[in-house]
Structure 1
């Protein structure tokens, strides 16, 4: 099997201790359906091109430059060499700024995962010692790295024989839950509903198993494409969802009966605040 292709190589540094590491992609979209844009008239692929907004003429790659809009239609041009000249430390070094308890991690900020492994055998010992120490302390490391010409805050956690490096979303990207939950009112519920719901959850308890994940939309796309390829009738559209549940108690009890669960000891009539 071919060695994993690194998208970044450098050093992980904790205080005066450092070791060579490399970052390897942990995700792939090779199995996903990808569409090309075609000309409806002749069925041939079309390609995108940058054109001048004023003249409508195509602009060659060598004439294209990044620009930052400071005011309406007023831009500052940024040359590639000017960006490279910044030479951020994080371009070549994962400087560990702090360690945080794994239990304190807000999973909303976790965005894209990568694998982190030793760059060579000479770095393996320091890498493994640090990984095991982090595992024992149940902490994750916070750092910053330059990937694809952008600085990214990352979180590093022990993972199997290596580590998992995850890009973090910026705080300014996150919508505060207070603005979303503000209109939600306090609700009351019957005391026995909690027991009934708990029994239903127990019946469905399982382990986190990604092999059971299914992309139903992707499967529907594949089925449609296969039907069109063979000149067959297209699959039927998915039915519309039913109306919202009105009587939660009845629905829960029916669900229990369907699962073969008897709700024992549930007290009727009591209510509890949510």
Structure 2
């Protein structure tokens, strides 16, 4: 045990990065997973990675504590960018709920504890099952492991002032809304046509109360269109996984190239 003490600071840095990933990363960051399980999984992953990552010997001093802060920020930032891309699904559900009339009724997401739209939560649960079925959680863990090829463990700091890094995060944020609009546009476009038709009916048949007829009609049309385009939406979700992993890789490349 004494022989491992000189290498303990390097192991602690790896452990901090892995557990910081689990704070923000989809699937691993949810409240339904006990904190003891997250810490245990992070410990054993860090123990495995410790023997594969070539880490120099560190001295515990002021610079070492800065490295700990850097490792925590790397894990949180890369995990956050992955969660940001995947949250496009809930935003698409919010667009659909607003047109359906369900925007007033939100549900509590048990994974995060936050309020989320009904349709968005429905899509999100299906997406998580799809992510597990294609072993996407293994790819996320691979992202933690291969992060050391982009961001060395002895790198001094994260270049927050780098213009390319800020631009990359902003583009990732905008791409999230673009994917959300692509998922929601079939239902939102169909409901727009329903609104146009109801407006024409209201002008031609004034005796008909379109407010009473319109809400159940829009809900029924929404469900029909959702079931009709569900396969296309799952295709967009598969592209979303590729975008998420590519965004994580690009961000790590920008952090490590400075």
Normalising by structure 2, we get a TM-score of 0.22
Higher relative contact order (CA 8 A, sep 6+): 2
Q: Which has the larger helix fraction?
A: 2
Q: Which has the larger strand fraction?
A: 1
Normalising by structure 1, we get a TM-score of 0.21
